[in-house]
Amino acid sequence: MHRCEACILLGTAILLLSTQFKCVQSLNEDGLAVTPVMGWNSWNTFGTYIDEELIKTTADLLLELGLADVGYTTLSLDDGWSSNRTEDGLLIGSKSKFPSGMKALGDYIHSKGLKFGIYSDAGPMTCAGWPGSRGYEEIDAQTFASFGVDYLKYDNCFAPADDWVIDRYTAMSRALKKTDRPIVYSLCDWGVLDPWLGWAKNISHSWRTTQDIAPNWDSILANLDSSIGLAQFAGPGGWNDADMLEIGVGNSLTHNQERAHFALWSLLKSPLLIGADLRNITTDSLNVLKAKEIIAMNQDVLGVAGELVWKQGPKEIYAAPLAGGSRGLVFLNRHCGGTNQYPTINMTVHWSEIGLPDGMEAWVRDLWRQIDLPRTYNSSFTASVELHDGAAFKVTPVSLDLKRDHKMIALLDGWRPWKGNPSFVVHNEDLAELSERNMSMELPRDEYGYLLSVSK
Ligand code: GLA
């Protein structure tokens, strides 16, 4: 999202929700990354095989495919863009890959209304063996600013053990501040020094919390599991980064897995960085990446990251408060296997698990289908979730008036999903659901396929 758009949204939220000003204040004073960064990064598909033509084409495609319109505006080069340092110690782009130079590339990206991201390393070498920035922080920060860089991903390879992580990352933070250019600083220490615990917040706008992601379901789940318990540390200006998106990368995830990956990363308020080759992305993957109402959870102005609130083996429910008293929900069916022995399952969320008073009447909106369900719910909601899918919903209490009910809205917005959770409570609905999985037995459903018998 553009900074100015984020500011307008933030301003609106402050006006409307003045009682909750604390909730939308940035962790950082500089006003950057008020919502998680959205964009594209070269690593997941291209590794070090990047060049000027690919990046310019990708810039064009971000616009042509409507991705920039929905918020993907930071176009970021990962490892492999540079050559060795000049005799003066300057970092320059590889002449064979970027013959027009990095400043010209930045100008092209900016001419499209996009932001320019680049990559370096807090050690002597990048992970792929190009020069790192340790010891050259100031000179490199000035170089990046002279290229017109708006975003820096800063990796953690090859650092000696006695060169403390915090010192190395702080040195670049200081150097970036000296450039006087607003540069979003994205730490990539893979979570080795628990960056969520505070030190990273003071110096950066996001911090990687996990190992490198890969385009397979096990990797998505591993990074998801490594994110549990971290929501409380994120907020406007400083986000947990569960690593880049694998949607459309190598067509190795099923459609449901892509939906689950995207809905969960959105709710966790991870930066949303597309890793696919946009020249041949499928319509299905594109539709996942462009699902506006899922993106809206990620960019919600309240800026509270989602957390696991209910779990029973492979059935999980994640939730976050959304501005205005609503809740964002993702129901994940992570049953193993892919045979018809593991069909669609039902999962129920109770209002007590998402900080809504029992009896409070609420609308439920299906965020993938972009429809309101035809009736209201007042204490729980049951969803059917296909194998490896992430069904996503927004629960909104009915008839809340921003002026009249501002105290109630402030109370609802103040709910935090990590307090008192995760919950392992057994629902009566879970038992009823087993007979539903006898496919020969038909239980009554509404026109959208939601169970009528167990939804109150
Ligand atoms: C590390 C990072 C990756 C990527 C590569 C580049 O592994 O975690 O995201 O940037 O380096 O070499």
Positive or negative: CA dihedral 167, 121, 100, 111: negative
What pLDDT, in 10s, does the model give residues 353-397?
Answer: 999 999 999 999 999 999 999 999 999 999 999 999 999 999 999
Residue 42 and residue 52: Cα distance in Å, rounded? 12
Is position 218 annotated as part of the catalytic site? no
> Domains of the chain (ranges plus CATH)?
38-298 (3.20.20.70), 306-438 (2.60.40.1180)
Confidence band for 456, pLDDT divided at 50, 70 and 90: very low
**17 versus 76: which is more confidently predicted?**
76
**What are the distances in angstroms from CA 178 to CA 90, 152, 252?**
17, 14, 43
Catalytic residue among 30, 107, 163, 212: 212
pLDDT at 16: 41
Closest residue by Cα to atom 1, ligand 1, is 127
* pLDDT-derived band at 336, boundaries 50, 70, 90: confident
3 pLDDT band (50/70/90 cuts)? Answer: very low
Could you tell me the distance, in angstroms and rounded to a whole number, from the CA of residue 212 to the centre of ligand 1? Answer: 7
- Active-site position among 51, 79, 121, 155: 155
Q: Does the pLDDT value for residue 221 go beyond 80? A: yes
Can you give the pLDDT at residue 442? 57
* Of 6-10, 119-123, 321-325, 403-407, the least confident: 6-10
Q: Is 163 noted as a catalytic residue in this protein?
A: no
Per-residue pLDDT reduced to its tens digit, 400-455 = 888 899 999 999 999 999 997 678 888 888 877 776 666 544 556 677 766 654 43
* CA distance linking residue 327 with residue 364, whole number of Å: 10
Least confident among 146-160, 209-223, 287-301, 425-439: 425-439
Task: Give the span between the Cα atoms of 10 and 37, in whole angstroms.
Answer: 15
Instruction: Say what the pLDDT of residue 152 is.
Output: 98
Residue 215 clears pLDDT 80, i.e. is over it: yes
Q: What digits encode the pLDDT tens for the residues 111-159?
A: 999 999 999 999 999 999 999 999 999 999 999 999 999 999 999 999 9
C-beta of residue 149 within 8 angstroms of C-beta of residue 117: yes
Q: In the predicted model, what is the mean pLDDT of residues 94-117? A: 98
Distance from the alpha carbon of residue 243 to the mean position of ligand 1, in angstroms: 10
- Which region, left, alpha or beta, applies to residue 28 given φ > 0 means left and ψ of -120 to 50 means alpha? beta
How far is Cα of residue 169 from the mean position of the Cα atoms in its chain?
22
Distance 406 CA to ligand 1 centre (A): 45
Given a cut of 50, whether residue 278 has pLDDT beyond it is: yes
**What pLDDT does residue 338 have?**
60
* Tokens of residue 455, six digits: 């939804």
Higher pLDDT, 362 or 342: 362
Q: What per-residue confidence (pLDDT) applies to 423?
A: 81
- Which pLDDT score is estimated for 366? 98
Supply the residue whose CA is at minimum distance from atom 8 of ligand 1.
212
pLDDT at 19: 36
CA dihedral 46, 52, 54, 58 (to 10 degrees): 110
Dihedral class, residue 390 (left if φ above 0, else alpha if ψ from -120 to 50, else beta): beta
- Ligand 1 pocket residues where CB is under 6 Å: 43, 78-79, 126-128, 155, 188, 190, 212
pLDDT surpassing 80 at residue 244 = yes
pLDDT value of residue 178: 97
Cα–Cα distance for residue pair 220/264, rounded to 1 Å: 10
Instruction: Round to whole Å and give the CA distance between 68 and 403.
Output: 34
Pairing state between β 345-350 and 315-322: unpaired
Residue to mutate, 43, 152, 208, ligand 1, most ligand atoms under 8 Å from C-beta = 43
Tell me the per-residue pLDDT of 21-69, one tens digit each, with 9 for 90 and over.
334 445 567 999 999 999 999 999 999 999 999 999 999 999 999 999 9
Q: How far is the CA of 53 from the centre of ligand 1 (A)?
A: 22
Q: What is the pLDDT of residue 117?
A: 99
**How far does the centroid of ligand 1 lie from the alpha carbon of residue 306, in Å?**
25
Q: In terms of C-beta density within 10 A (0-12 exposed, 13-18 middle, 19 or more buried), how is residue 117 classed?
A: buried
pLDDT at residue 6 in the model = 45
Residue 227 has pLDDT above 70, yes or no: yes
